[in-house]
Amino acid sequence: MKSAQRLAQIVYLLIFVAGLFFLVLNQGHHHTKLHHLMTKLHEYRSQHYLLAACAFFCVRFLCAAFAFPGSGMFTLMGGALFGWLPGTFLVLLANSTGSVVVFLLSRYAFKESLEKKYQRQYAWIRRLSHHRGAALLFFLRVIEVAPSFAVNSFFALTEMRLRTYFTATVLGALPGILLFTNLGVQAASIRQLNDLVSPMVLASLISLALIPLLSSIAWYLARNDCSTSLSK
């Protein structure tokens, strides 16, 4: 058991380091020749739809599991390549599966040892998880104020069940993914400047602009709710 936990800890550390490495590597790089790339991807998808969907799923899964930068861009690409609903399904499934992998790995690698070492701190974590754990996770998925890797790792240390974690993750991530994939669909349809002022494009941009406002309101309500519950 100890050797297996040690292996899980090593794998977790490798994932964390890989995420940092790609984050630093990505700094300063711009997504050039995007139109040419999307044209090639569209051609490949039209010829090999299933392979393209599987490849996209794997890449988006790695973005979620390793916390690679550019997850938003890949969500847009999902909508542009596969359409709104199929793209949403692929992104949501890949994102949730990647989060679950980190959740399970963190729980198996660290929960038992940290719980024994920091018993007093764990009393607070248990209360948080018991009172408002699912609601807090849902809001964190909606507003995305914290890195997903940190959110996955933290909730792995709580008593939250895997089913609850998966459900809150899916429901919390769904609104943003729906908006981003729809924006990707609209972006793929832009051929000239006049297309930028089409009703669907404007509606997508306005909906996207509302996310920070709604996120701030949701975070304020969740913070006050958790503070009230934990003070009781």
DSSP code, position 196 = G
What are the E-state strand segments in 29-174? Answer: none
Q: How many Å is the maximal CA-CA distance in the chain?
A: 63
For the chain, what is the radius of gyration of the CA atoms? 20
Q: CA quadruple 11, 17, 21, 22: dihedral positive or negative?
A: positive
* Residue-by-residue pLDDT tens, the chain, 232 positions: 556 665 665 555 556 555 544 544 454 444 445 566 777 888 889 999 999 999 999 889 988 887 776 788 889 889 999 999 999 999 999 999 999 999 999 998 888 888 888 877 787 777 777 777 888 898 888 877 778 888 998 899 888 999 999 999 999 899 889 888 988 888 777 655 444 445 665 566 666 656 656 666 665 665 565 555 545 5
